[in-house]
Each structure stands twice: as structure tokens, then as C-alpha cells.
């Protein structure tokens, strides 16, 4: 679907191409658009869907848009490939933080997202992001009714955790054998989750080491999920399976989560793959 005409007119009026970067964190891939030089954000649901098409666009698990902020170092918005908004995205936040730190030489940033104000800091070669405290009450996840978050009334005895977006975590004997596609698609839209949910399948490899596979709402199976890793680490500790610092083996790489008193910290690999510019034809919906 083509972006709205008003968007095209605004782009033409600025006489400037729309540039982007392709990045990934442990295989969780993103298109990153820096809208700070422009007046307001430029991404719409229609444009996000067009860019997210892996055959006719670029393709991504999430799109991250940087915007100027009057309260933080930058504002950051997230979009799913189906054009819906994502409230939180840990790996995209890490990627953006690493890119901004590299460009500015800074080691600390404050980033405002729909989740709230997140802190990012460089520790040696790693960039850590504080994804804030987990949401452990049913209204905030959100759920449709008051239930035991540690033992949801769903098949598989999953756990619910909110990280600015909802998560439904299943602890299974072997995550590699879990029916991620079938069960993930089913649970995503279960009535218990009025805003749909991300769905995780985790198994214990060793003390404080988990194997994780993820179905993300609005996207499907992804190679990693930062907020999902955080939610899974929180759930594992609550279930008595691990401590508060956990290594998580996702399909696309290894993430580390450290649940501290000041929030849930996340780190892992970051890669800047390439830069590009969208053609006028693409923006006009002619490709």
C-alpha cells in the first residue's frame, strides 16, 4: 500500500531523500530511520508495511524511528512489519544507542520511548540498555482479567510479564522442539491478551543459561527478541529456575540480561549492515 499523498508531498517539499540504515542485534533485524533533521516523524503505518515487505521493500522485524526530543537525548518509536506500533524493542534500542554513541563519542544516553525513559551506557565494548522494571500486575501487562501471572490459565502453564509490551513465556523441556509457529500464532491473539502478546518458549541449559525461541506479535518468528529475553529472565527467576543475571541463547545469537534493583538491563551483539536511500518511486508506491 502506498504512503499517504500528504506524506509524499511533505517529502517532496523538503527536497531531501529518505535515508535509512539496516542493523541487527543477534539476528533481530531493523530498519532505522533518523527523522531528527526533519520536522516531526515521517513513518506511517502504510510506509512501515511497505518497507517491511521483504520482497518489495527492505524487510525488518521492527522499524525504529529516531525523533528529536525536548526531554531526552532522543525519542524512539517502533513499528512492526504489519504496520502496528510496538511499545518496546530492546535489541533495536541497543542498536540505535550504539550508533548514536559511535557518532557522538558519548558513553551514556537517555532515550524516550513509549515504555518511558530508558538509559543506555557503554561498558567496554558492550552497550547495555536499561529496559526499566518489569510489569508484574495484570492490568499493566495488560491482561483481560485478574489471574496468577506466574501460572496463567492456558495450556503449558505459561508466565505473563510486561516489558512495555506483553509477553507470555512457556518453560519447556526443549525449546528447539517447541511448536513456535503454530502455538505462537494461537497464543498471540488469545482473549486473555487484549493487545495481543509476544510468545516465548524457553528451556534451561544450565544454571543461569536459557535457550529461547520467540514469536513476536505483529511479526512472527524472529531470531531474537530483546524485550522477550528480559521478560523470560524475569519469569525464570520468579519460577526459581535461575538467578537474576542470565545468559540467553536465541536463534540468532547470545544475549545477556541482568535484573537489578533499578531495572532490567540488556546487552548483546550489534551489527550495522548497510545504509540506503529510498527512491521517489518506492515512496510514491510505484515499485
CA-wise closest residue to 264 among 147, 115, 64: 115
Q: Kindly report the backbone phi and psi dihedral angles of residue 126, in degrees, each rounded to the nearest multiple of 5, phi listed first.
A: -100, 145
Which pLDDT value is given to residue 16?
59
H or E segment to which residue 113 belongs: strand 108-113
CA 128/CA 123 separation, integer angstroms: 7
Ordered by where they begin, the domains of the chain are: 5-130+270-283 (3.10.310.10), 159-261 (3.10.310.10)
H or E segment to which residue 109 belongs: strand 108-113
CA 53/CA 150 separation, integer angstroms: 36
Tell me the C-alpha to C-alpha distance, in Å, between residue 115 and each of 82, 93, 112. Answer: 20, 11, 8
The mean pLDDT values, 10 residues at a time, for the chain of 287 residues are: 37 63 97 90 95 97 96 96 91 97 96 95 96 97 98 98 97 98 98 98 97 96 97 98 98 98 97 96 84
Residues 6+ apart with CB under 8 A from 178: 170, 172, 201, 213
Which pLDDT value is given to residue 39?
74
Sign of CA dihedral 95, 100, 105, 106: negative
Active site residues: 89, 225
Residues 6+ apart with CB under 8 A from 49: 1, 81, 82, 83
The predicted model scores a pTM of 0.90
CA 140/CA 160 separation, integer angstroms: 11
CA 266/CA 213 separation, integer angstroms: 17
Neighbours of 13 (CB within 10 A): 8
Q: Kindly report the backbone phi and psi dihedral angles of residue 217, in degrees, each rounded to the nearest multiple of 5, phi listed first.
A: -65, 140
Tell me the C-alpha to C-alpha distance, in Å, between residue 175 and each of 212, 226, 229. Answer: 6, 17, 14
Neighbours of 145 (CB within 10 A): 10
Neighbours of 101 (CB within 10 A): 17
* R_g over Cα of the chain: 19
State the virtual CA torsion across 137, 143, 149, 155 in degrees, nearest 10.
180
Q: Is 105 left (phi over 0), alpha (psi -120 to 50) or beta?
A: left
CA 17/CA 252 separation, integer angstroms: 32
- What DSSP character marks residue 3? P
Tell me if residue 281 falls in helix, strand or coil.
helix
Tell me if residue 221 falls in helix, strand or coil.
strand
Amino acid at each position: 500500500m502506498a504512503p499517504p499523498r500528504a506524506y509524499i508531498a511533505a517529502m517532496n517539499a523538503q527536497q531531501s531523500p529518505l535515508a535509512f540504515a539496516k542493523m541487527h542485534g543477534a539476528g533481530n533485524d531493523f530498519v532505522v530511520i533518523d527523522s531528527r533533521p526533519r520536522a516531526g516523524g515521517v513513518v506511517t503505518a502504510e510506509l512501515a508495511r511497505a518497507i517491511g515487505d521483504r520482497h518489495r521493500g527492505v524487510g525488518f522485524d521492527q522499524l525504529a524511528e529516531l525523533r528529536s526530543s525536548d526531554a531526552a537525548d532522543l525519542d524512539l518509536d517502533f513499528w512492526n512489519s504489519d504496520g502496528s506500533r510496538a511499545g518496546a524493542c530492546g535489541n533495536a534500542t541497543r542498536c540505535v544507542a550504539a550508533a548514536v554513541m559511535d557518532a557522538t563519542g558519548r558513553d551514556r544516553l537517555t532515550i524516550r520511548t513509549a515504555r518511558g525513559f530508558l538509559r543506555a551506557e557503554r561498558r567496554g565494548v558492550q552497550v547495555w540498555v536499561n529496559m526499566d522494571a518489569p510489569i508484574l500486575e495484570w492490568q499493566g501487562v495488560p491482561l483481560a482479567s485478574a489471574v496468577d501471572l506466574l501460572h496463567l490459565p492456558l495450556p503449558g502453564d505459561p508466565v505473563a510479564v510486561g516489558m512495555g509490551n506483553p509477553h507470555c513465556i512457556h518453560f519447556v523441556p526443549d525449546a528447539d522442539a517447541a511448536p513456535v509457529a503454530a502455538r505462537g500464532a494461537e497464543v498471540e491473539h488469545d482473549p486473555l491478551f487484549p493487545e495481543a502478546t509476544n510468545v516465548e518458549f524457553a528451556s534451561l541449559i544450565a544454571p543461569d543459561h536459557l535457550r529461547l525461541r520467540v514469536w513476536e506479535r505483529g511479526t512472527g518468528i524472529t531470531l531474537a527478541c530483546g524485550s522477550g529475553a528480559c521478560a523470560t529472565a524475569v519469569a525464570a527467576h520468579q519460577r526459581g529456575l535461575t538467578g537474576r543475571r542470565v545468559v540467553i541463547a536465541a536463534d540468532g545469537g547470545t544475549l545477556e540480561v541482568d535484573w537489578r534493583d533499578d531495572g532490567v538491563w540488556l546487552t548483546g551483539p550489534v551489527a550495522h549492515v548497510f545504509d540506503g536511500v529510498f527512491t521517489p518511486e518506492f515512496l510514491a508506491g510505484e515499485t
